[in-house]
Structure 1
Amino acid sequence: MAAASLALLAGCEQASEAKKSYNAIVTTTKAAESLSASMEEAQTHQAERVKRGDTLSINYKELHKLLPSAIEGYTAEGEPEGESVQMPGMQYSSTKQRYRKGEETLSVQLVDYNGAATMFTAATAMVGTGIAVEDETQLMRSLDLGMKGVKGYEKLDKQGHQASVLLGVADRFFVTLEATGQKDTELVKSAARQLKLSGLARM
């Protein structure tokens, strides 16, 4: 049980970070209303999947197949890591691949939380609420990749030169891309467009 708990914490790390970031800046009625609407939409999609008997997450080995062997000039470093976790009232699967180009790294993580929707609903709902924050140290704002069922936000650590994109797909998948040695978020956004997100959005 201890090992499973640690695995669960690792799989939820990005969702937790996203939720904390949002909670720190939700100070307006408009933002709160937008979040509420997004959560209602997510709950509707979840209810539709339950109605048709789609309540389990995809096995992590199947998720591995969605990761490319190379992306934006970065080549895969080793084999992808992943797991399918199941415990009372909760089940999810995740996969993660690390890529490298010289000294720079790019990582892609995909989580299917179909069996743990209540945990991730708030985290994925918040990514499409139109938030925008920028100062001397960071940039964070909502991101629209022009794909149906995909919403997210981009984040840049200006001092650490780390860029990331966090995406909620079909109110079921949570996708995170992170890259080192970046002055902007163009690389991670371009890499996100190369993933098979449209296929996920139809699930």
Structure 2
Amino acid sequence: MKTILKLSFLLGIATLVACGGNDKKEEDNIDVEKNPMGALMKMGENMQKQAEKMEKQQAERKDAKAMHYEELMKYLPESVKGYEKEEPKGESVEMSGMSFSSANVRFTKGNDDINVNLLDYNAAMSMYSMATAMWASGFKIDNSEETAQSVSIADNINGWETLQKKSKDASLILGVNDRFLVTIEGNNQKNTDLFKEIAKSMDLKKLTGL
């Protein structure tokens, strides 16, 4: 909680500094606890770049629609070793000037479960931008409650992994080609290795070409 408050307090300053134009590259995964100002400066810089990129892509995808949920469901994982698969679900939403779709599936093993959710933000770029603003900043958080950091598993597939140290709840969120968002969450996990295996079992590389 202290980390979040610290980031919120400094965000405005960092954004103003970033707008001044700083071409110096910083190392990946800046430790927020040790260098909050450096982390916020990089976040502000990347938010500006991301906003410009999204504005351009929004213009290019002006008449685009999100993939229908039935098609999106084909990209969900077929199985997870040791877990039972439940029936996949999905939905597509259209409104004035915006559309998005989601598909999800749940895997269970006794009291343990893993949820996989795939969203297509093709015609809702502003929503995607808000969800992914922090990842490109290379954040790293490590305290008594959690570990969290930016992660990349392939070209155009980057995101954020989190492990709650006491509850063993974990999550992996991946952005694919500035359009799709993959969220994998589960309990009783020592790390996010299983989630990365699940992500790699999905045909995400095909999605990067869409």
TM-score in same-fold range (> 0.5): yes
Q: Indicate the residue corresponding to 2:30 in structure 1.
A: none
- C-alpha deviation, 1:40, in angstroms: 2.6
Q: 1:97 maps to what in 2?
A: 105
Pairing 1:160–2:172 present = no
Q: Which runs of 5+ in 1 are unaligned?
A: 1-19
TM-score (norm 1): 0.79
TM-score, normalised via structure 2 length: 0.77
Paired AA for residue 35 in structure 1: M
Number of equivalenced pairs:
179
Matched, 1:34 2:46: yes
Residues 39 and 122, structure 1, Cα contact 8 Å, conserved in 2? no
Which residue in 2 is equivalent to 1:143? 151
Give, in angstroms, the shift of residue 153 of structure 1.
Answer: 0.8
2:56 maps to: 44
1:108 matched residue in structure 2: 116
Alignment partners' CA distance in 1, 2:53 and 2:200: 24
- The code of the aligned residue for 1:88 comes to S
Aligned with 1:144: secondary structure? strand
Q: CA deviation at 1:86?
A: 1.4
Between the aligned partners of 1:72 and 1:35, the Cα distance in structure 2 is 38
Cα separation, 2, equivalents of 1:86 and 1:49: 15
Are the aligned partners of 1:84 and 1:92 in contact in 2 as well (CA < 8 Å)?
Answer: yes
Aligned to 1:127: 135
Residues 25-34 or 118-127, more deviating = 25-34
Q: In percent, how many aligned pairs have the same letter? A: 37
The Cα RMSD (Å) is 2.3
User: 2:27: which partner in 1?
Assistant: none
Superposed displacement of residue 171, structure 1: 0.8
**Bigger radius of gyration among the two:** 2
Given that 1:110 and 1:174 are in contact with CA atoms closer than 8 Å, whether structure 2 keeps it comes out as yes
